[in-house]
């Protein structure tokens, strides 16, 4: 069923609103990656001179260039990890647009969603970003013992965190935050699996640039499917956050 949710999200990728958000998301992702890349090159230039003098050999000008190319490769590798916080930041800016586009096409006739002040969403996103950094920092200890299972540890940990955040934000638009947490708790396995399926392609350079949009759409479908089977309704609970 989760793959069906993803298939619906993928089928809407040509939607003009999806394409607009996708372009903004790509710009956000590339800006972050190139910003860190430029910072890394700046550190290289700061500590490594334009040429290195080697006794009996002379000036060696190639090393900084080699380090520059190596840093570009390093940025592609680091994008595997950087795209997780990018996906987290994505929720603050674009999740509402994606979720609304999905609902307009697949769930017409719904009442207006519960408005969330941007400041609240931004605070939640910053807090979530901090949790991501702390948890992934501690998970480095597990990676030392995981060996070939490192990718699965990465997907499991970040899948749980991403699933928790995306589902809660999507559901809160419709049933409020307390009920969203309860619905998530009742379906924790599916939410975790959906998050893991989102985290896995985030570890693929270039492909990962498209995942935040598809993830937001997939969790919107997941919420409406679970809402229908769990009996939660927008009108049955107070609109508290």
Mean pLDDT, 10 residues at a time, over the chain (241 residues)?
A: 90 88 79 71 62 45 51 64 73 84 92 81 80 78 76 88 92 91 94 93 80 91 86 49 41
Residue 59 belongs to some domain of the structure: no
Residue 117 belongs to some domain of the structure: yes
Please list, in sequence order, all residues whose beta carbon lies within 8 angstroms of the beta carbon of residue 164, skipping any fewer than 6 positions away.
184, 191, 195
Domain of residue 179, residue span: 2-32+81-236
pLDDT at 86: 73
First vs last C-alpha separation in the chain: 29
Residue 54 belongs to some domain of the structure: no
pLDDT at 231: 58
Residue 222 belongs to some domain of the structure: yes
As for how many domains the chain has, the answer is 1
Specify the 3-state DSSP secondary structure of 30: helix
Residue 119 belongs to some domain of the structure: yes
User: Under a CB-based contact definition with an 8 Å cutoff, are residues 206 and 80 in contact?
Assistant: no
Residue 52 belongs to some domain of the structure: no
Residue 70 belongs to some domain of the structure: no
pLDDT at 48: 58
Residue 209 belongs to some domain of the structure: yes
The number of helices, as runs of H, and strands, as runs of E, in the chain is 8, 2
pLDDT at 58: 46
Distance CA 45, CA 59 (A): 16
User: Under a CB-based contact definition with an 8 Å cutoff, are residues 199 and 155 in contact?
Assistant: yes
């Amino acid at each position: 069923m989760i793959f069906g949710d993803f298939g619906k999200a993928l089928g809407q990728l040509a939607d003009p609103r999806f394409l607009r958000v996708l372009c903004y998301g790509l710009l956000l992702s590339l800006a972050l990656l190139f910003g860190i890349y430029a910072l890394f090159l700046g550190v290289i230039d700061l500590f490594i001179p334009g040429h290195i003098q080697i006794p009996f050999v002379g000036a060696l000008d190639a090393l900084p260039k080699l380090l520059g190319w190596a840093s570009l490769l390093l940025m592609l590798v680091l994008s595997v990890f950087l795209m997780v916080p990018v996906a987290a930041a994505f929720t603050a800016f674009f999740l509402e647009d994606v979720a609304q586009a999905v609902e307009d096409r697949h769930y017409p006739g719904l009442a207006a969603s519960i408005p969330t002040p941007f400041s609240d969403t931004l605070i939640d996103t910053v807090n979530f970003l901090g949790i991501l950094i702390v948890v992934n920092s501690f998970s480095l200890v597990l990676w030392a013992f995981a060996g070939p299972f490192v990718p699965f540890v990465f997907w499991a940990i970040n899948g749980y965190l991403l699933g928790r955040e995306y589902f809660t934000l999507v559901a809160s638009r419709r049933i409020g935050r307390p009920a969203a947490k309860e619905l998530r708790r009742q379906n924790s396995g599916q939410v975790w699996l959906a998050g893991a399926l989102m985290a896995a392609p985030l570890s693929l350079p270039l492909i990962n640039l498209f995942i935040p949009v598809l993830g937001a759409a997939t969790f919107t479908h997941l919420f409406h499917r679970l809402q229908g089977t769990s009996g939660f309704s927008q009108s049955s609970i107070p609109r508290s956050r």
